[in-house]
Amino acid sequence: KAGVTQTPRYLIKTRGQQVTLSCSPISGHRSVSWYQQTPGQGLQFLFEYFSETQRNKGNFPGRFSGRQFSNSRSEMNVSTLELGDSALYLCASRSGPNTGELFFGEGSRLTVL
């Protein structure tokens, strides 16, 4: 079956702009998590959604937001972009909370100029 799909794969924005990233989980998976990956920092947890509800939220400013739709697809939005937001944004899915490992997409690489 198809894996986790993230779009777009690459994007370039300028400071102050906003960006929306999309994630389609594996069919049947209802839990979607988002991570920010930067060199030296590893994966930093942004938020997790399950059945359209945010279950957990990481320690990121309010400029980072997300949502999940009834078909389990998820989006994350970053407003008022800063240079430090340049990173690989990863989406991961699984059946539900406490149901095993996360399955990752290939990520959306955001560059902020």
Instruction: Considering the complex, state which of residue 25 and residue 105 has its C-beta at the smaller distance from other proteins.
Output: 105
Closest separation in Å from C-beta 6 to other proteins? 9
Distances (CA, A) of 44 to 34, 53, 57, 61, 69: 9, 20, 11, 13, 23
For residue 65, count CB atoms less than 10 angstroms from its CB and return exposed for 0-12, middle for 13-18, buried for 19 or more: middle
HSE toward the beta carbon, residue 51, CA cutoff 13 A? 2
Closest separation in Å from C-beta 41 to other proteins? 6
Instruction: Considering the complex, state which of residue 29 and residue 81 has its C-beta at the smaller distance from other proteins.
Output: 29
Residues near other proteins (CB under 8 A)? 3-4, 33, 35, 40-43, 45, 48, 55-56, 90, 92, 97-98, 100-107
Instruction: Considering the complex, state which of residue 60 and residue 103 has its C-beta at the smaller distance from other proteins.
Output: 103
Closest separation in Å from C-beta 42 to other proteins? 4
